[in-house]
Structure 1
């Protein structure tokens, strides 16, 4: 899917680069990794929300510039980065899958043979629904989900405070 950009696809580019095969493999890979890691990411996602609020609470009670203070800053930052990596990469995958159908449509598909056009229709139909990574089959991982975890952590932190 990384071949998709703002330039128009040429008909031969689609078949010479095996974009149809690559797209099918990408869709299958996303489904496989989503099924394999969804519960692991779910546990990581919610554990991180809880850990973020508790570590922030401990951070506020630590003596400024002490070793405990710096270790809590590093730990909290690490937890934020872990969740951000999941959410950011999932957003990129979703964006690429959303733009794929339009990129194929914007290509010069009219000069392709009938069989090639049929193959493109099948690919376009399979990419109409964007490919998304989910956490526990409930939460779509995205930058919005990252913002939500920060809001949830702050809410829990407010209760603890």
Structure 2
């Protein structure tokens, strides 16, 4: 069946469907939502997942045949990038795990030409006596070490104020 769909655009549209515009120039296309049997609440949820809380910021939103939503924000709502401002930017690669569940990953330290002594010194500076106290530690391409300990204690300050009416 897929082979036939590959050879014929018409059959492909019939078998797989085709992407459908659900927002155009900030306006929700209700008729297209109905055809797709899609609720407005589903659309709004998919937008929120993408960090968009206001449909008026969208130039086009397209419901793909896979069920995913592709969004093009209006130009005034798109994120500003260093390229937009003709600025150079530093490379940002992936963080590398150097401690996972209390275990030091020596191979990953070697990638940065570091050793366990360096790591132990970093832990001591952070007030941590052993890698066993660490749930996760990662190192980024700029050499910044992120440490998350096992027993996080988040203290929330309580502030009580008397208000006069």
TM-score category, normalised to shorter length: under 0.3
Higher helix share: 1
Which TM-score applies when normalising by structure 2?
0.19
Higher strand share: 2
Which TM-score applies when normalising by structure 1?
0.20
